Amino acid sequence: MTEPPFAGNEVEHLLGALDRLRATFQWKTDGLDAAGLSTRVGASALTLGALLKHLAFVEDYTFGVKMRGTAPGGPWRAEDWDDNPDWEFTSAADDTPEQLYALWTDAVRRSRARLADALADGGLDQLVHVSASDGRHASLRRLVCDLIEEYGRHTGHADLLREVVDGRVGEDPPPGWTPGA
């Protein structure tokens, strides 16, 4: 289990919290077939597959567009977001489980590398590309905190969805759990 440090510095705590949420989210979405990834709860259209694709997009958007102002790659650049702002949620039903898992895993890998480079190049206080309407730029710290909040919200959704799929419940992956096992 990825556990934040008990007494680390600010970067270690923030990255530890983010990685713990990523690991819990991965555990909640892991090892499902297309039916499991497309299961819904009640009237909600949200699915675990949609959450995988959405969080893959958020990872790339946060540490690409918001942090550095670089255009998104992969499937994100081909979509007309003005016509379909929820594309990553709605199009996930057309993707295979393998595609969804790879999309999320690759986005997390890119984010970790981009964030490590940014931290080495100026730390959490550095200003990033994204700015408010008055021209003030956000700090890297703000981006990390926003991503922690995003994972917190959607890991809660994943808790409910996974319980409906097969009864998997719990706060953390069990000891010895590995993705895809």
pLDDT digits (tens, 9 = 90+) for 42-73: 999 999 999 999 999 999 999 999 999 998 88
163: tokens are 């319980």
CA distance 88 to 75: 9
- Side chain identity at 17, as an amino acid letter? A
What mean pLDDT, rounded, does the chain reach?
94
| pLDDT at res. 4 | 85
pLDDT digits (tens, 9 = 90+) for 79-118: 777 888 889 999 999 999 999 999 999 999 999 999 999 9
12: tokens are 């270690």
pTM of the model: 0.94
| pLDDT at res. 33 | 97
Predicted confidence band of residue 26 (pLDDT cuts 50, 70, 90): very high
| Domains, the chain, with CATH or none | 10-166 (1.20.120.450)
CA distance 100 to 95: 6
| pLDDT at res. 120 | 97
Q: Which helix (H) or strand (E) holds 129?
A: strand 127-131
CA distance 91 to 45: 12
What is the per-residue DSSP string for 66-121? IHH-PPP-GGGTTS-TTT-TTHHHHGGGGS-HHHHHHHHHHHHHHHHHHHHHHHHT
What is the arithmetic mean of pLDDT over 162-167?
96
